[in-house]
Structure 1
Amino acid sequence: MTTWRKSSHSDETGGQCVEVAALPRAIAIRDSKSPAAGRLELPRHSFAALLAHLRRERPSD
């Protein structure tokens, strides 16, 4: 069974609804509003690189 975690930035009004799940060899990402639409699986090192990029590019609040 895959355990999905919703992003802390997701909300109930339809904004930024992302869920992630740790798989044995990858990290899966899906849209929590439409989970049956599929998922993207990234190798763990690629997911880490994606997060690092997003953190660098994040606009300051």
Structure 2
Amino acid sequence: MNTIYQQSSFCSTGGCVQVAVLADGSISLRDSKDLSIPAHTYTVEEWVAFTAGVKNGEFDLVPGGLLAS
């Protein structure tokens, strides 16, 4: 089975992260600019916690590239 990666429709540069669900249910995250770098793999629980934080604004950046607090 081939792994099918998706990237955000908001990616306008072509150099974005890509995400796939693996056969065992874990989540694979890779950098589309350099596919020779191994992907990071997360459990479903880790992924759900991360995406919940993103949706809650916990990783929003402010001017200067710092995380909002």
Name the TM-score class by shorter chain.
Answer: 0.7 to 0.9
User: Could you say which residue in structure 2 is the equivalent of 1:45?
Assistant: 45
SS in 2 for 1:5: coil
TM-score (norm 1): 0.78
**TM-score scaled by length of structure 2:** 0.70
Equivalent residue letter for 2:39: R
Unaligned ranges ≥5, structure 2? 61-69
Identical positions, percent: 28
More helix by share: 1
Note the aligned Cα RMSD (angstroms). 1.7
4+ residue stretches of structure 1 with deviation over 3 A?
Answer: none
- The aligned length equals 57
